[in-house]
Amino acid sequence: MVCTTTLGGTAANVVVANVVHGLMRMTWVPTPVSDEQAFEAIRSGVDALPAGVKMILNSAQFYGMGWSTANLELLSRFYEKYPDYADRTFLMVKGAYNPEKSRVDNAPENIRRSVESCLAALRGTKTIDLFQPARIEKSVPIEETMKALVELKNEGKFNHIGLSECAAATLRRAHAVHPIAIVEIEVSVTSFEEEARKVLATAAQLDVAVAAYSPLCHGLLSGTVTKREDLDPHDMRMHLSRFREGNFQSNLAIAGAIKSIAAKRGCTPAQLCIAWVVSLGNKVLPLPGSTRRERTLENLAAGDISLADEEKSEIAYAMKAYPVKGGRYFDDAEADAILWG
């Protein structure tokens, strides 16, 4: 059985699987996967769903080496080959990246330029169901950003509005301008900061869905990366604070604790982590990545796992006993604070 839920805001009537399929690592890696493998990974999840239930696919303007539109171009080829899947999937796209400035730029003119770039990459094969700025730029008032997004939505460029990496207060201000359908933040047993908890609480109050990305801490918690040598030297994770020498070896402790709890439950460590995120709320949707059919189905099945109170307590104990070393991206919590716009 596949567990389902609905989204928020203007997408409150959209029924989706309660696990999102992240597509980033299909293209934003030194050696992208083949179209055949990527298409099989996408189709397997969609085909496992009951009629009327959509699979959320998470993509971005910049999910390609060199911050390219490679991920959206891959999707355009997928939908061109399998047009029936356009109506069976809900496509959320992060954007507002400005190639000239090499950063997110939420100025209205750049948001428009970003949306047009995403639409061009999709070549008319699929509607953008939800568009979201990838980060909140603090120099641009959120009300101004929302005004630009509403204008583009009303023009039919996309159907719903989302936010990414926003603080709870920002979510509330944005939602007052126009209903937010999904807010995307990082949530895992290694990323459960106070602000993340505030966003979860605010989203629940406003009936906004939360797409919880990196529930497996970029593979650390799933056991797929057990030493730094497992990673390609050009893999972006080599630059993440939690994967750096010293921090990585220390962080294997919580990965080991999760593996032990999962073994007692009879599921994979990845499934345990995904199920834990699901347990945080009805509209909290874990967003793991997958490039292979078997992993897509494993992730989807995790959404149906209901954790016992004792298991939740064991996970909570592990989180306290083995605190993660390193920030979500950078070296310390102060540096990471810039993420919460």
**Model confidence at 147: pLDDT above 90:** yes
Task: Report which residue type is found at 202.
Answer: T
**Residue 85 a catalytic site member:** no
Q: Which of 63, 79, 97, 322 is catalytic?
A: 63
Task: Report if residue 77 sits inside a domain.
Answer: yes
Beta-carbon count within 10 A of 234 CB? 11
Within-domain flag for 47: yes
> In the chain, how many domains are there?
1
Specify the CATH number for the domain of residue 169: 3.20.20.100
Q: Within a domain: residue 227?
A: no
Domain with 116, as residue range(s), is: 4-219+271-308
Least confident of 86-95, 125-134, 249-258: 249-258
| pLDDT score, position 249 | 78
65 within domain boundaries: yes
* Inter-CA distances, 62 with 121, 156, 187, 230, 287, Å: 11, 22, 22, 25, 18
Tens digit of pLDDT for each residue in 228-282? Answer: 666 666 667 767 777 777 787 777 888 899 999 999 999 999 999 999 999 999 9
- Is residue 75 within 8 A of residue 91, CB to CB? The reply is yes
Output the average pLDDT for the chain.
92
Q: Is residue 296 part of a domain?
A: yes
Element (H or E) spanning 88, and its range?
none
For the question of whether the overall pTM of this predicted structure is more than 0.85, the answer is yes
Question: Does 129 map to a domain?
Answer: yes
**Residue 331 within any structural domain of the chain:** no
Confirm whether 18 is domain-assigned.
yes
Contacts of 263 (CB under 8 A, 6+ apart): none
pLDDT at 230: 67
CB-based contacts of 293, cutoff 8 Å, min separation 6: 40, 41, 44
- Can you give the pLDDT at residue 242? 79
Contacts of 152 (CB under 8 A, 6+ apart): 111, 112, 115, 131, 158
